[in-house]
């Protein structure tokens, strides 16, 4: 049953319904309401443990410790908060822990800006975490139990990324999965090894040069292999809720006979679907392709989805300064020397909340009809 | 129905964001789809704030600001400048918290008097709440002027939002604005 609530409140509700052992948050806009609502729930006895830490670095440290002790753990943050966690973010993945974090995506300083883009999470793309980018609040609340399921079975931490303000502060109709449903979906977290005073073990011991690289390669291979788990976790929940998001990795919208494709991450893709419908009504063969799972990167799946298309506008709210747009570069790599690969154009926009409208999407789709390679900040 | 879009103008602390949220809840109570969200400069009391609300019979899937509202709701008339009606649809309506007349406001906003609605929401709020917080009250005016949400839905949404005693005084302010908007 849907209720009309704020995206952040809905996230707090679903986290509570996942019955975490430990939540640790340090508030930062635009993730603050999630942290506040979870704190209220703890005060009401609805959550087992909520630690009010003194910084984001402590928040990530606390949920790592909880996960290492065999607990289901959660945090939320944004922008500078995520950046402050950076050192521990890599360690959480290297230690093969299973926390879930909801990142309310926001621009990085400087200049100071509280609005949405994807610079914060894209900067953590090399860390070894899963990254799911959600288009809607409904998808975000559905993705959180899925993230726990994958993280706790693959021993890989997971970020669920929701656009700051566009989703976190949007009040709309949302069906929050209930505790009973989540209990039937999400098994108890039983890690293969955990910190236990009765049976002491060491987690994250030193690795000599002969071993270190093997650990990193294992993590990479397991992350790639977790694509199957992401799909399965998505499909199993779709059976319970009746709601699906493509195949869990990619969502294709009116792609079957499309020649020109708009590709992107997150909430802008709802706007893109509207643009596609308007252009289709005028007889234009356009479609939209949403990358839901950015880590692991669905390179092979993208090559298959785009084979035979004429031209693709890759839209990103992030940039690798001094180089190129990260998703664009990764798509180029995925399609290199593939037969029937389309022409790929890179458009960077929406930084720091610069609004991306239906008309903006339409103009990019019109631009790539010349089947030439464009690279622009829009 | 065709999607309806409203834009609220207020100052930080006046509750423009809450107003759009309560309107979204009221629409939800009528089994409509809705989406409310804010836009502001700095997170400070007194700074200009805008908030938006979309209402539709099907799910709202676009995630962009409202550029061509059918309705603007002005909680604080000191915010009126040349840009405040920007994008307002042809025949779109403005609802203003003011003691001035419809004609005076129409001339100030550059709109036809038929499309301008005025109510002394500050006076109504002071009478009922003892504080000049006009956001809930103005939703009563919105309901009367537009008919998009029923008065009962607005009252129920207000009751959901606030503790019982505060809800009661806010509901009275909603009713007064519904009855007094001209």
- DSSP states along A105-171: E-PPSSS---S--SHHHHTTTTSS-EEEE-SSHHHHHHHHHHHHHHHHHHT--EEEEEETTTTTT-E
If contacts are CB pairs under 8 Å, which of residues 35-74 in chain B contact chain A?
A: 35-39, 43, 59-65, 67
Give percent above pLDDT 90 in chain A. Answer: 98
Residue among A168, A31, A47 at smallest CA distance from A101: A31
Portion of chain B with pLDDT greater than 90, in percent: 93
pLDDT given for residue B13 in this prediction: 86
Which pLDDT score, from 0 to 100, does residue B41 have? Answer: 76
pLDDT value, residue B46: 84
Interface with chain B: mutation pick from A111, A166, A170, highest number of B CBs within 10 Å: A170
Q: What is the total residue count of chain A?
A: 378
CATH superfamily of A3-241: Thiamin diphosphate (ThDP)-binding fold, Pyr/PP domains (3.40.50.970)
Q: Compare CB distances from A267 to B33, B63, B65 and report the shortest one's residue.
A: B63
Rg (CA), chain B: 15
Q: Is the peptide bond before A168 cis (omega within 30 degrees of 0)?
A: no
Give A170's contacts in chain B (Cβ within 8 Å).
35-37, 63
Distance from CA of A290 to the nearest CA of B (A): 14
**Coil vs helix vs strand at A261:** strand
* pLDDT of res. A204: 87
Q: Is B83 on the interface with A (CB under 8 A)?
A: no
Task: Supply φ then ψ for residue A161, to 5 degrees.
Answer: -100, 125
Partner-chain contact B35 A270, CB within 8 Å? no
| B29 contacts on A by Cβ (under 8 Å) | 4
Question: What pLDDT, on a 0 to 100 scale, did the predictor assign at position B102?
Answer: 97
**Contact status of A117 with chain B (Cβ, < 8 Å):** no
What DSSP assignment string belongs to B32-54?
-EEEEEEEESSS-TTSEEEEEEE
Which of B62, B67, B158, B159 should be substituted to probe chain A, the one whose Cβ sees the most A Cβ atoms within 10 Å? Answer: B62
Q: Which of B34, B37, B65 faces A4 most closely, judged by CB atoms?
A: B34
Report the 10 Å Cβ neighbour count for A12. Answer: 29
User: Do residues A227 and A296 make contact, with C-beta atoms less than 8 angstroms apart?
Assistant: yes
Residue ranges of the domains in chain A? Answer: 3-241, 251-377
- The model's pLDDT over A342-373, given as tens digits with 9 standing for 90+, comes to 999 999 999 999 999 999 999 999 999 999 99
Q: 162-221 in A: which are within 8 Å (CB) of B?
A: 163, 165-167, 169-173
The pLDDT of residue A370: 97
Q: Is B12 on the interface with A (CB under 8 A)?
A: no
pLDDT for residue A78: 98
Convert the pLDDT of each residue in A35-78 to its tens digit.
999 999 999 999 999 999 999 999 999 999 999 999 999 999 99
B33 touches chain A (CB under 8 A): yes
Question: d(Cα A270, Cα A140) in Å, to the nearest integer?
Answer: 14
Is the Cβ of A2 closer than 8 Å to some Cβ of chain B? yes
pLDDT digits (tens, 9 = 90+) for A285-307: 999 999 999 999 999 999 999 99
Residue ranges of domains in chain B, CATH in brackets: 4-180 (3.40.920.10)
Pick A172's closest partner by Cβ from B38, B39, B60: B60
Supply the pLDDT for residue B40.
84
Contact B33 A171 (CB under 8 A): no
Band (B178; pLDDT cuts 50, 70, 90): very high
* Among A139, A172, A352, the residue to mutate for chain B (most B Cβ within 10 A): A172
A135-152 confidence digits (pLDDT tens): 999 999 999 999 999 999
pLDDT surpasses 80 at B44: no
Contact B63 A268 (CB under 8 A): yes
**Contact predicate A346/A372, CB 8 Å:** no
Q: How far is the C-alpha of A19 from the C-alpha of A7, rounded, in Å?
A: 19
For residue A109, the model assigns a pLDDT of: 97
Rg of chain A (C-alpha set): 20
Express each pLDDT in B154-163 by its tens digit: 999 999 999 9
The per-residue pLDDT for range B1-27, each reduced to its tens digit, is: 899 999 999 998 889 999 999 999 999
**Could you say which architecture CATH assigns to the domain A251-377?**
3-Layer(aba) Sandwich (3.40)
| Closest-CA residue to A166 (of A315, A37, A354, A348) | A354
Per-residue pLDDT reduced to its tens digit, B128-158: 999 999 999 999 999 999 999 999 999 999 9
* pLDDT tens digits, B78-101: 999 989 999 999 999 999 999 999
Portion 87-106 of B in contact with A at CB < 8 A = none
Scanning every residue of chain B, which has its alpha carbon at the shortest distance from the alpha carbon of A169?
B37
| pLDDT of B42 over the 80 cut | no
A140 vs B: CB within 8 A: no
Q: Nearest CB to A173: which of B21, B33, B37? A: B33
pLDDT band with cut points at 50, 70 and 90 for residue A312: very high
Q: Is the pLDDT of residue B43 over 90?
A: no
Rounded CA separation B174/B15 (Å): 14
Query: What is the DSSP-derived secondary structure letter of residue B3?
Result: P
pLDDT higher than threshold 90 for residue A205: no
So what's the pLDDT on residue B166? 96
Stretch (H or E) spanning A33: helix A32-43
pLDDT of A146 reads: 98
DSSP A237: H
> Are residues A170 and B62, on separate chains, in Cβ contact within 8 Å?
no
Q: Taking CB atoms and an 8 Å limit, are A171 and B59 in contact across chains? A: no
Look over chain B and give the mean of its residue pLDDT values, rounded to a whole number.
96
What pLDDT is recorded for position A64? Answer: 98
Closest-CA distance of chain A to residue B6, Å: 14
- Rounded to two decimals, the ipTM of the complex is 0.96
> Cβ B28–A114 below 8 Å, yes or no?
no
Find chain B residues with C-beta within 8 A of A163's C-beta: 63
Which residues in chain B are contacts of A165 at CB distance < 8 A? 37-39
Mean pLDDT taken over chain A: 98
Comparing CB atoms, the residue among A114, A169, A274 nearest residue B37 is: A169
User: B61, A274: Cβ pair inside 8 Å?
Assistant: yes
Mean pLDDT of A263-278: 98
User: Do the first three CATH levels of A3-241 and A251-377 match, i.e. the same topology?
Assistant: yes
pLDDT at B1: 82
The predicted pLDDT at position B54 comes to: 98
Q: What are A220-234's pLDDT values in tens digits?
A: 999 999 999 999 999
Give B53's pLDDT tier (boundaries 50, 70, 90).
very high
């Amino acid at each position: 049953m849907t209720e009309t609530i704020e995206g952040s409140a809905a996230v707090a509700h679903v986290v509570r319904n996942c019955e975490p052992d430990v939540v640790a948050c340090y508030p930062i806009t635009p993730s603050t309401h999630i942290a506040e609502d979870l704190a209220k729930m703890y005060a009401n006895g609805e959550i087992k443990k909520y630690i009010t830490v003194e910084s984001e670095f402590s928040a990530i440290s606390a949920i790592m410790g909880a996960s290492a002790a065999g607990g289901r753990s959660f945090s939320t943050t944004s922008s500078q908060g995520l950046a402050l966690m950076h050192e521990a973010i890599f360690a959480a993945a290297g230690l093969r822990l299973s926390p879930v974090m909801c990142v309310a995506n926001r621009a990085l300083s400087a200049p100071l800006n509280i609005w949405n883009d994807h610079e914060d999470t894209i900067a953590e793309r090399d860390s070894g975490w899963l990254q799911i980018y959600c288009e809607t609040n409904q998808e975000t609340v559905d993705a959180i139990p899925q993230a726990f399921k994958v993280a706790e079975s693959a021993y890989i931490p997971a970020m669920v990324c929701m656009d700051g303000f566009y989703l976190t502060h949007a009040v709309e109709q949302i069906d929050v999965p209930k505790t009973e449903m989540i209990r039937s979906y999400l098994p108890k977290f039983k890690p293969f090894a955990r910190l236990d005073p009765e049976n002491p073990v060491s987690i994250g011991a030193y690795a000599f040069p002969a071993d270190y690289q093997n650990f990193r390669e294992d993590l990479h291979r397991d992350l790639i292999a977790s694509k199957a788990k992401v799909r399965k976790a998505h499909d199993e929940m779709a059976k319970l809720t009746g709601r699906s998001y493509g195949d869990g990795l990619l969502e294709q919208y009116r792609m079957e006979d499309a020649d020109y494709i708009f590709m992107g991450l997150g909430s802008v893709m709802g706007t893109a679907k509207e643009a596609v419908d308007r252009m289709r009504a005028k007889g234009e063969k356009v479609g939209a392709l949403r990358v839901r799972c950015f880590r692991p990167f669905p390179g092979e799946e993208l090559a298959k989805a785009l084979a035979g298309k004429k031209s693709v506008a890759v839209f990103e709210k992030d940039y690798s300064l001094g180089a190129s747009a990260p998703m664009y570069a990764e798509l180029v790599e995925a399609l290199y020397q593939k037969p029937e690969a389309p022409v790929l154009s890179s458009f960077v926009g929406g930084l720091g909340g610069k609004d991306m409208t239906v008309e903006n999407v339409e103009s990019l789709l019109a631009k790539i009809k010349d089947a030439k390679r464009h690279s622009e900040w829009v | 129905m065709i999607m309806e879009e409203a834009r609220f103008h207020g100052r930080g602390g006046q509750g423009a964001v809450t107003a759009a949220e309560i309107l979204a809840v009221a629409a939800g109570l009528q089994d409509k789809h809705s989406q409310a969200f804010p836009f502001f400069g700095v997170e400070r009391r007194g700074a200009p704030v805008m908030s938006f609300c979309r209402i539709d019979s099907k799910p709202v899937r676009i995630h962009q600001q409202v550029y061509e509202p059918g309705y603007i709701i002005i909680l604080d008339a000191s915010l009126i400048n040349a840009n405040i009606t920007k994008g307002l649809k042809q025949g779109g309506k403005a609802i203003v918290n003011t003691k001035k007349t419809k004609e005076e406001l129409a001339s100030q906003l550059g709109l036809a008097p038929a499309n301008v609605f005025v109510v002394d929401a500050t006076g109504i709020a002071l009478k009922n709440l003892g504080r000049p917080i006009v956001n809930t009250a103005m939703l009563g005016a919105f309901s009367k002027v537009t008919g998009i949400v029923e008065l009962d839905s607005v009252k129920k949404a207000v009751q959901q939002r606030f503790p019982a005693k505060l809800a009661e005084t806010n509901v009275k302010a909603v009713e007064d604005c519904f009855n007094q908007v001209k």
